[in-house]
């Protein structure tokens, strides 16, 4: 229901106008001063305010200026007995939607009110549509966010599954990939890479030996020394990992870094004898993490060598085989931050 407020210090005008409006079916209140009108508006805003200009203590223009500070949609009609072009212009400038000359004639007054009622209804309709649009957009955004989250979580769970499947075939290295991934993420954090990069390096580490799926498990678990053919078969896991992942929908660095995790700075690695900057930075981090983790943990053919020997190895071959900045970050991580190898599941976030 449209609510209308009449503000005039002349009682006869208040009565006459409110009678016109009540008869026409509107809900009407009256105020005998602009100050009372202001208080009534603050208590409960009106759709249309019809106000006299000249009133004691507060004018109709001042009332209108106040209303405009809290409500831009309310329709305001100004009326006066001393109609001049200046007062009309001032009223419109201050935000009036209409200007009525006294004496006010019933038909013209109701026609004015009617057209303002239509404007109010139109505004309310637009406001409703705009609220519905906002609600729809919020719903859509929430749905997309929820689906993206589900997708990310399912991708992360598939990474965990692949990690576990690889290690089931080689129980002697159980947890190796997770420890490498967690160490690679810690080195990346130490080097101030973004959280996205750190999480991605972790995820790559978790499946970096996926190519071992093609290696017979008797070779993977063989306690003694490997012969040349067996060694060559094991070495194939880096290229196989790349081949297996290159068509999977993951950031392309996954397949590349996995294919390069046995390369070395001086070109002495495999499978492609890449050198220095030909190797992806993610791979450089993975390479150091893999070497350190492998040396620090027990293998069927030898006991764990310990952190000191592992750090000595990367330090000795700093620049020659391993990226110097990665080596420095890794050494600092163990010697200053007392990092210890961690095989618990870390947060995996794969950029979509
Ligand atoms: Fe490997």
Q: How confident is the model at residue 40 (pLDDT cuts 50, 70, 90)?
A: very high
Average pLDDT rounded to a whole number, residues 57-70 = 93
Cα of 251 vs centre of ligand 1, distance in Å, is 20
Average pLDDT rounded to a whole number, residues 83-87 = 73
Which candidate, 197, 341, 210, 337, places its Cα nearest to that of 280? 197
pLDDT of residue 162: 87
Average pLDDT rounded to a whole number, residues 96-123 = 92
CA angle, 164 then 168 then 174, to 5° = 75
Residues 225, 92 within the same domain: no
Contact at 8 Å (CB) between 2 and 26? yes
With respect to residue 191, please indicate whether it lies within any of the assigned structural domains: yes
Cα of 210 vs centre of ligand 1, distance in Å, is 8
Cα of 299 vs centre of ligand 1, distance in Å, is 14
Residues 329, 186 within the same domain: yes
Backbone angles phi, psi at 181, to 5 degrees: -60, -45
Residues 235, 103 within the same domain: no
**DSSP calls for 19-70:** HHHHHTT-EEEEESSHHHHHHHHHHS--SEEEEES--SSS-HHHHHHHHHHH
Residues 314, 250 within the same domain: yes
When the pLDDT of each residue in the chain is averaged and rounded to a whole number, the result is 91
Average pLDDT rounded to a whole number, residues 227-253 = 90
Cα of 340 vs centre of ligand 1, distance in Å, is 21
Residues 184, 123 within the same domain: no
Residues 49, 188 within the same domain: no
pLDDT of residue 252: 83
Cα of 310 vs centre of ligand 1, distance in Å, is 16
With respect to residue 295, please indicate whether it lies within any of the assigned structural domains: yes
Say which residue, 302 or 335, is predicted with more confidence: 335
Asked whether residue 321 carries a pLDDT value surpassing 90, the answer given is yes
CATH at residue 270: 1.10.3210.10
Which candidate, 319, 58, 293, 57, places its Cα nearest to that of 187? 293
Residues 93, 178 within the same domain: no
Q: How confident is the model at residue 91 (pLDDT cuts 50, 70, 90)?
A: confident
**Residues 334-352 pLDDT 10s:** 999 999 888 777 777 776 6
pLDDT of residue 191: 97
Residues 101, 182 within the same domain: no
Average pLDDT rounded to a whole number, residues 114-140 = 93
Domain count, the chain: 2
Average pLDDT rounded to a whole number, residues 30-41 = 97
Cα of 212 vs centre of ligand 1, distance in Å, is 8
Residues 183, 100 within the same domain: no
Cα of 216 vs centre of ligand 1, distance in Å, is 15
Which residue, 129, 161, 193, sits at the end of a domain? 129
Residues 193, 296 within the same domain: yes
Most confident listed range (4-8, 156-160, 209-213): 4-8
pLDDT of residue 159: 87
**DSSP calls for 59-82:** -HHHHHHHHHHH-SSSEEEEEESS
With respect to residue 294, please indicate whether it lies within any of the assigned structural domains: yes
Cα of 298 vs centre of ligand 1, distance in Å, is 15
Asked whether residue 95 carries a pLDDT value surpassing 90, the answer given is no
Cα of 131 vs centre of ligand 1, distance in Å, is 56
Asked whether residue 140 carries a pLDDT value surpassing 90, the answer given is yes
With respect to residue 41, please indicate whether it lies within any of the assigned structural domains: yes
pLDDT of residue 352: 64
Cα of 264 vs centre of ligand 1, distance in Å, is 13
Q: How confident is the model at residue 81 (pLDDT cuts 50, 70, 90)?
A: confident
Average pLDDT rounded to a whole number, residues 86-103 = 83
3-class state of residue 220 by DSSP: helix
185: domain range? 169-335
With respect to residue 160, please indicate whether it lies within any of the assigned structural domains: no
Residues 188, 323 within the same domain: yes
pLDDT of residue 83: 64
Asked whether residue 301 carries a pLDDT value surpassing 90, the answer given is no
Asked whether residue 82 carries a pLDDT value surpassing 80, the answer given is no
pLDDT of residue 302: 77
pTM of the model: 0.66
Residues 329, 203 within the same domain: yes
With respect to residue 146, please indicate whether it lies within any of the assigned structural domains: no
Say which residue, 160 or 28, is predicted with more confidence: 28
**Peptide bond connecting 103 to the previous residue in cis, omega within 30 degrees of 0:** yes
With respect to residue 194, please indicate whether it lies within any of the assigned structural domains: yes
Which candidate, 111, 82, 78, 80, places its Cα nearest to that of 95? 78
Cα of 209 vs centre of ligand 1, distance in Å, is 5
Q: Can you state the percent helix, strand and coil of the chain, rounding each to 5?
A: 60, 10, 30
Average pLDDT rounded to a whole number, residues 284-296 = 96
With respect to residue 8, please indicate whether it lies within any of the assigned structural domains: yes
CATH at residue 41: 3.40.50.2300
């Amino acid at each position: 229901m449209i609510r209308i407020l009449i503000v005039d210090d002349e009682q006869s005008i208040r009565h006459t106008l409110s009678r016109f409006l009540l008869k026409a079916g509107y809900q009407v209140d009256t105020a005998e001063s602009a100050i009372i009108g202001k208080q009534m508006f603050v208590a409960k805003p009106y759709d249309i305010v019809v106000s006299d200009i000249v009133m004691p203590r507060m004018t109709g223009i001042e009332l209108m200026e106040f209303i405009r500070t809290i409500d831009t949609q309310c329709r305001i009609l100004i009326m006066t007995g001393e109609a001049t072009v200046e007062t009309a212009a001032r009223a419109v400038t201050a935000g009036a939607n209409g200007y009525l000359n006294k004496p006010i004639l019933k038909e013209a007054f109701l026609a004015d009110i009617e057209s303002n009622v239509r404007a109010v209804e139109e505004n309310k309709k637009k406001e409703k549509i705009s609220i519905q649009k906002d609600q729809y957009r919020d719903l859509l955004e929430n749905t997309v966010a929820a689906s993206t989250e589900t997708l990310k979580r399912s991708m992360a769970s598939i990474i965990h599954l692949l990690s576990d499947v690889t290690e089931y075939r080689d129980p002697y290295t159980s947890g190796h990939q997770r420890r490498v991934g967690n160490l690679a993420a810690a080195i990346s954090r130490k080097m101030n890479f973004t959280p996205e990069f750190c999480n991605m390096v972790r995820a790559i580490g978790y499946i970096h030996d996926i190519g071992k799926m093609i290696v017979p498990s008797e070779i993977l678990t063989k306690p003694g020394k490997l012969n040349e053919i067996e060694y060559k078969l094991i070495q194939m896991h880096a290229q196989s990992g790349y081949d297996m992942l290159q068509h999977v929908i993951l950031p392309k660095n996954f397949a590349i870094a996995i294919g390069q995790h046995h390369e070395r700075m001086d070109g002495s690695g495999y499978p492609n004898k890449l050198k220095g900057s030909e190797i992806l930075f993610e791979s450089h981090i993975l390479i150091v993490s893999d070497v350190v983790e492998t040396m620090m943990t027990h293998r069927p053919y030898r006991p764990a060598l310990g952190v000191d020997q592992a750090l000595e190895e990367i330090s000795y071959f700093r620049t020659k085989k391993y990226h110097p900045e990665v080596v420095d970050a890794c050494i600092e991580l163990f010697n200053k931050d007392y990092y210890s190898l961690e095989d618990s599941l870390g947060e995996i976030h794969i950029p979509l």
